[in-house]
């Protein structure tokens, strides 16, 4: 069973179109090379894809420019030659004139060199400046309103966070009070009590004993006085 006949029309699907182009381009280049070699023909082939990519083939030993020049001679069509320097000079002069005109207009709006401007043009410049000032003010007010709206939105977000935090504290208030009471009722370690009384134990030196006596003084400890009255011997 043979292959069905394909209708020759533009392929709508882009992927299918690219695949078909690649396959048929390779076949076309192959057939062109075979025709050039077998028949000793001078062939120049130029292909532009739908994406603008250039693909060309030229018979070996020749250049594409030579084939194009030969085609122009044989067909009688010749591309007119222009001096690109004259075109560049013309474009440069036009740009210079446009730059001078724009600079002159800018000096009018900045208030420079207004002595040669007639009254009608000055009035027109004044009106344009007033319209420009109105546009600038409108844009400035718009930006201020946007900043104010952003600040209000930020304020609402902070108030909401504050309310959520206050609600959380109220919900966990009992647990926090219980935890605080437990921390206050925590028993004191014996070692901490001993550390508060450094005079426990035997002093190692007279200096340490003197220091201990000053620490004991606030407790108003008094040494027992010996009884001087006694029976005579």
What local confidence, expressed as pLDDT, does residue 138 receive? Answer: 92
What local confidence, expressed as pLDDT, does residue 203 receive? Answer: 46
Residues in the chain: 233
Q: Token pair of 168, please? A: 């959380």
**CA proximity to 55, closest of 99, 79, 25:** 25
Per-residue pLDDT tens digits for 210-225 = 454 444 444 444 444 4
The answer to which of 45-59, 60-74, 104-118 has the lowest mean pLDDT is: 104-118
Rounded to 10°, the helix 84-109/119-171 angle is 80
Per-residue pLDDT tens digits for 82-129 = 556 777 888 888 998 888 888 877 777 776 766 767 777 778 878 888
What local confidence, expressed as pLDDT, does residue 156 receive? Answer: 93
Per-residue pLDDT tens digits for 157-206 = 999 999 999 888 888 887 777 777 777 765 555 555 445 545 444 444 44
- The rounded distance, in Å, linking the Cα atoms of 82 and 88 is 11
């Amino acid at each position: 069973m043979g292959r069905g006949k394909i209708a020759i029309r533009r392929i709508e699907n882009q992927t299918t179109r690219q695949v078909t182009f690649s396959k048929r381009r390779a076949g076309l280049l192959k057939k062109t090379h075979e025709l050039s070699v077998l028949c000793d023909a001078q062939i120049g082939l130029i292909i532009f894809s739908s994406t603008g990519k250039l693909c060309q083939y030229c018979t070996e030993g020749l250049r594409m420019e030579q084939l194009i020049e030969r085609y122009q001679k044989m067909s009688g069509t010749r591309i007119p030659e222009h001096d690109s320097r004259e075109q560049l000079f013309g474009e440069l002069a036009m740009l210079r004139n446009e730059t001078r005109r724009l600079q002159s207009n800018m000096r009018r709006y900045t208030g420079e060199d207004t002595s040669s401007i007639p009254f009608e043009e000055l009035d027109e410049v004044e009106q344009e400046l007033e319209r420009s000032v109105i546009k600038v003010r409108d844009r400035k007010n718009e930006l201020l309103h946007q900043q104010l709206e952003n600040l209000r939105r930020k304020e609402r977000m902070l108030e909401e966070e504050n309310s959520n935090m206050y609600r959380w504290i109220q919900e966990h208030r009992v647990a926090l009070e219980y935890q605080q009471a437990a921390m206050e009722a925590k028993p004191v370690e014996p070692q901490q009590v001993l550390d508060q009384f450094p005079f426990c134990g035997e002093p190692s030196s007279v200096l340490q004993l003197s220091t201990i006596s000053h620490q004991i003084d606030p407790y108003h400890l008094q040494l027992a006085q010996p009884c001087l009255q006694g029976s005579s011997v």
